[in-house]
């Protein structure tokens, strides 16, 4: 049988990795797919030929991405440019031309996935996006296929390698935030705009996708709560450790009787949890299904070859599906498109979680009672309190508290009232806390 012709958009980190994997493992990939896979036409504005092995296997390399999606010889377009535009226009045009699409573009899927999947459905083509979430970890396949029997209860994931690398290096080596970020950029892990990593936007793109796959709801990036790691201080990392916790930047999707939580924020988790020990650039996703219980998926969430591993697996899947009836393929968002639910995504004020609080209070009798009183009046139960020694000559002391679970709106009210006390100085640090118990 003739090889399948691929059109490749982008020869950067992931594009280069994809060329390498497709050529290096060509024979084995063909044995799996049932046909050879050939990059017939690639487009890149710029690339470094020295850094890409297998480049000479590509039929033709140009700089016009639209020429690739319009090329009648191309059956599958692999979009590895990233960003919203022109990726959206290219993918929609490829679909309109009747081509299947493989993409690693989480921003594109999180923001424009509903439109893209509707267009693909209409044309009877596949849009595959395994590489969009957690790089080389086959988490989309696991959610869509491996866990299809389950009522998914919650997901908690470390889904941004750069953020995890920064938190790990800060904790283990006391390194400076900017210095670690620069290293992640040099290693090709960070986004083109690294604020996407540290402010949680990249993780929110990925969580939006995971939430839709888990709960069968349309993609709703605009409703995903996002808080980054840039406010985390070394003292919080140290206090969390003293209390038996680690701070991780988690994406959490949870089903509750009132709606669905979609939230990305720094989170204290018990240090004994496996996921609390996922360090460096590695990603991990913990999925709790009602039948299977908790399951954990771990691996490289970024980088050329791990991401290419997911891209090429998608290409193989699409090649296998070329001759199948479009109505009998795995649905894009795991649930049949007509079966997506309108379950509301909860505003953060309605989310219930436990909290770590750090405030700076006057070291005087009655202050702690006043603070505890306000928490009690708002229905917030305290789990632990730690007061540190005042530094020499200091009148104020750091006060660390852990609370039981409470609705965020109540905590907001309590923190406003506590912040207004004369005895409390400066900003109150609040970090959400989860036990992630199976
Ligand atoms: N910037 C992302 C990360 C790359 O650090 O995880 C993979 O999406």
pLDDT digits (tens, 9 = 90+) for 14-66: 999 999 999 999 999 999 999 999 999 999 999 999 999 999 999 999 999 99
Residue 6, phi then psi, degrees to nearest 5:
-105, 145
Q: How far apart are CA 62 and CA 64, in angstroms?
A: 6
Calculate the alpha carbon distances from 154 to 40, 186, 294, 431 in Å.
42, 34, 9, 20
Catalytic residue (one of 106, 206, 248, 288): 206
Report H helices in 297-348: 304-321
Q: What is the mean pLDDT of residues 340-363?
A: 97
Measure the N-to-C terminal CA separation of the chain; round to a whole number of Å: 48
Say yes or no: CB of residue 301 within 6 Å of ligand 1.
yes
Predicted model pTM:
0.96
Q: What is the mean pLDDT of residues 400-425?
A: 98
Each residue's pLDDT tens digit, 113-138: 999 999 999 999 999 999 999 999 99
Q: How far apart are CA 417 and CA 429, in angstroms?
A: 14
Q: How far apart are CA 219 and CA 314, in angstroms?
A: 20
Each residue's pLDDT tens digit, 52-102: 999 999 999 999 999 999 999 999 999 999 999 999 999 999 999 999 999
Tokens of 3: 């090889």
**pLDDT at position 277:** 97
Query: Mutation test of ligand 1: which of 104, 183, 191, 229 has the most ligand atoms closer than 8 Å to its C-beta?
Result: 191
**pLDDT at position 150:** 98
Domains of the chain are: 4-136+304-339 (3.40.50.720), 140-300 (3.30.360.10), 349-433 (3.30.70.260)
Given a contact cutoff of 8 angstroms between Cβ atoms, the answer to whether 39 and 59 are in contact is yes
CA of 392 to the centre of ligand 1 (A): 44
Tokens of 33: 């797919």
**pLDDT at position 223:** 98
Q: How far apart are CA 50 and CA 53, in angstroms?
A: 8
CA of 207 to the centre of ligand 1 (A): 13
Q: What is the mean pLDDT of the chain?
A: 96
Q: Which residues contact 168 (CB under 8 A, 6 or more apart)?
A: 279, 280
For residue 436, name the pLDDT band (cuts at 50, 70, 90).
very high
Tally the residues of the chain.
Answer: 438
pLDDT exceeding 90 applies to what percent of the chain? 88
SS3 234: helix
Q: How far apart are CA 122 and CA 115, in angstroms?
A: 11
Whether 173 sits among the annotated catalytic residues: the reply is no
Q: How far apart are CA 409 and CA 415, in angstroms?
A: 10
Tokens of 245: 């916790």
Say yes or no: CB of residue 5 within 6 Å of ligand 1.
no
Tokens of 299: 């691996």
Each residue's pLDDT tens digit, 196-255: 999 999 999 999 999 999 999 999 999 999 999 988 988 899 999 999 999 999 999 999
Say yes or no: CB of residue 199 within 6 Å of ligand 1.
no
**pLDDT at position 275:** 98
**pLDDT at position 189:** 82
Q: How far apart are CA 113 and CA 340, in angstroms?
A: 14
Min mean pLDDT across 62-76, 180-194, 230-244, 395-409 is at: 180-194
The per-residue b/e assignment along 150-172, b for 16 or more CB within 10 angstroms, e otherwise, is bebbbbbbbbbbbbbbbbbbbbe
């Amino acid at each position: 049988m003739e090889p399948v012709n691929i059109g490749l958009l982008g020869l950067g980190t992931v594009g280069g990795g994809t060329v390498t994997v497709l050529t290096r493992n060509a024979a084995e990939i063909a044995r799996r797919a049932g046909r050879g896979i050939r990059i017939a036409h690639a487009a890149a504005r710029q690339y470094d030929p020295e850094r890409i092995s297998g480049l000479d296997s590509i039929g033709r390399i140009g700089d016009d991405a639209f020429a690739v999606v319009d090329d009648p010889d191309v059956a599958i377009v692999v979009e590895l440019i990233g960003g919203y535009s022109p990726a959206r226009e290219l993918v929609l045009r490829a679909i309109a031309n009747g081509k299947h699409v493989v993409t690693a573009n989480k921003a594109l899927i999180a923001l424009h996935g509903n439109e893209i999947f509707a267009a693909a459905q209409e044309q009877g083509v596949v849009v595959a996006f395994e590489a969009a979430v957690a790089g080389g970890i086959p988490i989309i396949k696991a959610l869509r296929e491996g866990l299809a029997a389950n009522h998914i209860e919650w997901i908690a994931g470390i889904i941004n390698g750069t953020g995890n690398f920064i938190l790990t290096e800060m904790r283990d080596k006391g390194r400076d935030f900017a210095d670690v970020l620069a290293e992640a950029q040099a290693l090709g892990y960070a986004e083109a705009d690294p604020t996407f990593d540290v402010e949680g936007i990249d993780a929110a793109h990925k969580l939006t996708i995971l939430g839709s796959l888990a709960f069968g709801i349309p993609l709703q990036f605009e409703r995903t709560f996002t808080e980054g790691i840039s406010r985390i201080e070394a003292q919080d990392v140290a206090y969390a450790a003293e209390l038996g916790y680690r701070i991780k930047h988690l994406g959490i999707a949870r089903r509750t009787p009132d709606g669905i939580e979609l939230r990305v924020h720094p989170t204290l988790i018990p240090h004994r949890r496996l996921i609390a020990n996922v360090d460096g650039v590695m990603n991990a996703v913990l999925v709790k299904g009602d039948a299977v219980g908790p399951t954990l998926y771990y691996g490289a969430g970024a980088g050329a070859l791990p991401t290419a591993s997911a891209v090429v697996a998608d290409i193989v899947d699409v090649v296998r599906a070329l001759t199948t009836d479009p109505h009998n393929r795995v649905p894009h968002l795991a649930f049949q498109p007509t079966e997506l639910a309108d379950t509301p995504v909860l505003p953060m004020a309605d989310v219930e979680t436990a909290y770590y609080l750090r405030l700076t209070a006057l070291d005087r009798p009655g202050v702690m009672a006043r603070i505890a009183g306000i928490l009690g009046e708002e229905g917030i139960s305290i789990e632990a309190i730690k007061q540190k020694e005042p530094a020499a000559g200091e009148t104020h002391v750091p006060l660390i508290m852990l609370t039981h679970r409470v609705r965020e709106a109540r905590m907001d009210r309590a923190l406003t009232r506590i912040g207004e006390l004369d005895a409390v100085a400066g900003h109150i640090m609040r970090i959400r806390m989860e036990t992630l118990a199976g």
